[in-house]
Structure 1
Amino acid sequence: MDIKAIRSQFPILDQEVNGHPLVYLDSSATSQKPISVIETLEKYYKEINSNVHRGVHTLGTRATDAYEGAREKVRKFINAKSTQEVIFTRGTTTSLNWVASSYAMANLKEGDEIVITVMEHHSNIIPWQQVAKKTGATLKYFPLQEDGTLSLDAVQATITANTKIVSVTHVSNVLGTINPIKEIAKIAHENGAVMVVDEAQGAPHLKIDVQDLDVDFLGFSGHKMCGPTGIGILYGKKHLLENMEPVEFGGEMIDFVELYDSTWKELPWKFEGGTPTIAGAIGLGAAIDFLNEVGLDNIAEHELKLSQYALEKLSTIEGISIYGPMDPAKRSGLVTFNIEDVHPHDVATVLDAEGIAVRAGHHCAQPLMRWLKATATARASYYLYNTEEDIDKLVSGLVKTKEYFSDVF
């Protein structure tokens, strides 16, 4: 990968923050956007802007073609069998909530089990809490190993014949842990359970093949993978989606409307009521084009090297605690840490003064914070446009942070 050439395609990186060149290490929260995506959005609004599926005029046809063309790009990106299995949503949170509120609410009952992990983002915990409360199902958690990874033996022991849903993140947004989704799905299916995957942190970094993984539902967000905000994907196996009721009702998702009853369009449109996020979908298609051009394998290889470098360099800082597996091959592009006697918010504030953007807080993962025995952590997350020099500046900034607070106290 030519990192210099890649960085040149991200105009936001070419600026100073607080008098320093920007070092952006918060891609797990949202990635930056290449010029090709920005120009695609601009072109849509300047040349194509029209509603989809409704008008027979030229602009309407162009918009519909671009919108449905983006759906086909997503289908290829995740290797779904059909575009009928690809539904545009507002993001991962919406996708997971739709599975919970439509599929799970209709299919679970008292005595059934839902199994998730402690490392989940809140958006993959709270919907299942609500399902359990309303259906009488039991919510269970896979135990984590000391390094924040999942043991397949523990997975096998936790899933039972009563388990109906297993929902797991592919990549932890705190630990960076890459979970063995294919193997977990196999165990889930052997016990008659449906496999749901939070792919928000996986899709930007890993090559995803839903047929090879054999997952039943999967959701991810465009804004974490070089695309626009407000657009996401719900993948579902066709036979499952066909038997689910829509979550939102209104225009475009209907077939016929009578005074007292209505029927729905076929997949995927029965789930896309109202005017969709047309520009966002087209922008996501452009982001997929960009990622395919760079190559997901190249991105993964680059991030593996950065992880190895970051873990090595950060480990030299006295008083640092690094969370998650220390084997870079077992984690994705982030490192979460705490500095002894320094609150992570203070760490992030001092780093920001140096032009370095990191995330601090509980990262929408409060149960995991309690498991880690931490109230909050700092997180540096890197992507295809980051370099070893960025890691060096992070380390230098953390050393300066330690010195500053040791002087203060």
Structure 2
Amino acid sequence: MNLTSMSSGADTNVSSIAADVITNVFNVTERVGGDLVIRFATTHWNATFDLAKRMINHTTEDKSVINVIRAAQDVGLCDVIFSNVTSSGNVTTTVASYDPAGCGVYGSNPDLQPLLILILVCIILWAMFGNSCLIGVIATSENMQEPGNIFLCALAFTDISQSLMYTPTAIYSLVHGEPPGALWCRTQAFFVPFLSILSVFLLTSLWICRYIHIVWPLEFHSMLTPRRLVVAMVMCFLVAVTPPMVGLARVGKVVTWSVDLASVDIPKPASLMMPCTFGGPESVVAVMLCFLGVFVSCCCAGLIYREVRSKHLHHGTKEAWLAQADRLEVKLKAVKTLGIVVLLQWVTWVPILVVGMLSKVGAISLTSAAFYGDMFYVMLQTSTFSDSLVYAFRNEIYRKALAKIKRKMRLMVINGFY
């Protein structure tokens, strides 16, 4: 009996001492980590400020960014150069070359390299963290496991894939001053349009689910069966993969963007911050499919608001909503949240699509397309994590689920010390 009491008391003392030690370690780590973070932030802020000041001075001297582009164009940095090469057998062949390092934002001001890399690192970290949290919440929270959210989960996976396909390559190119190589360029040219179209149509499918949820709330689960959801996912995949696959089957390889501008296939991106994109008529089809997906999403949004606000709803639908009156506000808030996501999609997707179409028809020069393409494509990458941020601010269930996951992880860490 005494031995048991002594053992229990000893365990309590050991646990208390261990807890005090862990607390002190955390406090010391927080202080040291805080000092390191402050020093790191101060150093990089000063460097960033100097770089920004140089850019402003450079832009002021040239009066505008347009003059910077024109100056680079006059030098011929962003042109496909054709040169004749004579072999030992007196055979002359025409060789095309292109240097993406002289184009785009980096080409106009190489001193911005650290700032550009820092921006890309922040983008990929946010994309990985935000979408991973969104997937974890959907997988662990019962309130988030409704049929339509399977598209939201697939969209998060697609956003992660998009970020991984683009950002590490852009960082590598900025560090080394050249793109990785021809094989990776053609691989990227296949998957970048595929993932872009897939992302747009997954969001479109999510809007269609919301429309069914609003108009037929009682039949929602019976209409969106697992089999139908799988069929819809497969359809999105097939629509997205068709343009690059058709181009691959037609030519025998993935041709790049230079085919449309210079009638020659050069497996290099337009600039170090742009991904390799595929060329040919299939690339125009891919852009039009993206526009179509965004248009259908907006149509679904308009239909939902019309159904909700209309005073002439079908009698059966009225009865259905009376049966779920307590859920109406929740559903409307979910629709508004999705509307914000679509608005962000328009803001981030449309500019780069317009630049791509203008460059293909020759309305803007290659220099301008590379410069504005850099800015708009980086802006496009913010859409890979904006979805999760919108849900974090708009969805209380999402915030509660995140807090629950945080508590569980904290308990796991603390229990690991005992």
Normalising to structure 2: TM-score of the pair?
Answer: 0.22
Q: Which has the larger radius of gyration?
A: 2
Higher relative contact order (CA 8 A, sep 6+): 1
Normalising to structure 1: TM-score of the pair?
Answer: 0.22
Structure with the higher helix share, 1 or 2: 2
